[in-house]
Amino acid sequence: MTAQVGAVRAELGRHRPRFGEPAFRGLVVLASLTVLAIIAGLVVVIATTSMAGIAHNGIGFLWGTTWDPVHSVFGALPFIYGTLLTSITALILSMLIGVGVALFLVELAPSWLAGPLGFMIEMLAAIPSVVYGLWGIFVLAPWLRDYVEVPLHDTLGWLPFFSGYPIGIGNLAAVVVLTIMVLPTVAAVSRDVVSAVPGSQREAALALGATRWETIRMGVLPYARSGILGAGILGLARGVGETMAVTMVIGNSPTISLSFLAQGYTMASVIANEFTEATTNLYRSSLIEIGLLLLVVTLVINAAARLLVWRVAYTASSRSLAA
């Protein structure tokens, strides 16, 4: 034993390269700095090119509701509202479905079903977003109008959420498309988190006489909670930044409406729509300012979600300590 250790030491001593350690260290530091440099460069370019817009639009850009390139009046609120409305609603829906799928795959599904089903859900993430958009505009929107929006409007039209004239294209179609697009992220990450819960958690609950549901509720979910929230953050990031599919189905109308039947607009969509033909400096700069805002909104959402995860993880650990 001691002889073997000595042999290894001798081996290492003979062949240890003199510059290997610092070179490796330098390489990985460089890789990390590259990421930082890219982000810094991005922020600097976006901030400097949006200066003309910031100077002209002022702070009122944040709550202005008019977007009028002809008269150079630029307000971003409808886009901020549309982005948050669609991505948060889609996140809630996809969390409900995604966590359900994850629990089914890990806890209930027979293995011959769990494999193919998990694969299918991951396949959803591989479909290009323009395909979702085309499907949304040609298949989903007419179907939603005839079988969802018209009945909703006829029965619940007195609610502000379902007022207006149903045409298929609008906030609801955007939410449905986004939900489907966010779902694979939420479901796949949640599945990995749930399957990482140690078997001892389940065995302990079962040994105490818990049913399957009680085991999941008391043994599995509390353990996986922060991971599932993390899945939500990834999903939200996907939803906020999604451009093409949403542009094709949301109706591209900068209005602020509670109604899911109304048309809306998102920050990413207005950039995609108008950037190529923005022929004046101020106009282009205002669009880039929207991009800057989108960056800020994404950072705020991520920071808030990160805080939430920490808080949940902290409460969970203190509770288990107290118990």
By the criterion CB under 8 A, which residues form the site for other proteins? 66-71, 73, 137-138, 141-142, 165, 167-170, 247-248, 251-254, 263, 269, 272-281, 284
For the bound state, the minimum distance from the C-beta of residue 252 to other proteins, rounded and expressed in Å, comes to 3
For the bound state, the minimum distance from the C-beta of residue 303 to other proteins, rounded and expressed in Å, comes to 32
For residue 130, give the 3-state DSSP assignment. Answer: helix
Please provide residue 74's backbone torsions phi and psi, each rounded to the nearest 5 degrees: -125, 120
For the bound state, the minimum distance from the C-beta of residue 315 to other proteins, rounded and expressed in Å, comes to 45
For the bound state, the minimum distance from the C-beta of residue 171 to other proteins, rounded and expressed in Å, comes to 11
Cβ atoms of 254 and 67 within 8 Å: the answer is yes
For the bound state, the minimum distance from the C-beta of residue 281 to other proteins, rounded and expressed in Å, comes to 8
Nearer to other proteins, 97 or 167 (CB): 167
Nearer to other proteins, 238 or 284 (CB): 284
Burial class (CB in 10 A: 0-12, 13-18, 19+), 74: buried
Cβ atoms of 80 and 267 within 8 Å: the answer is yes
Nearer to other proteins, 189 or 294 (CB): 294
Nearer to other proteins, 230 or 251 (CB): 251
Nearer to other proteins, 4 or 279 (CB): 279
Nearer to other proteins, 171 or 185 (CB): 171
Cβ atoms of 260 and 276 within 8 Å: the answer is no
Question: What distances in angstroms separate CA 111 from CA 105, 137, 213, 238, 309, one per listed residue?
Answer: 8, 37, 19, 30, 31
Cβ atoms of 141 and 168 within 8 Å: the answer is yes
For the bound state, the minimum distance from the C-beta of residue 279 to other proteins, rounded and expressed in Å, comes to 5
From the CB of residue 91, how many other CB atoms can be counted at a distance below 10 Å? 25
C-alpha 256/C-alpha 249 separation (Å) is 16
Cβ-based neighbours of 313, under 8 Å, separated by 6 or more: 225, 226
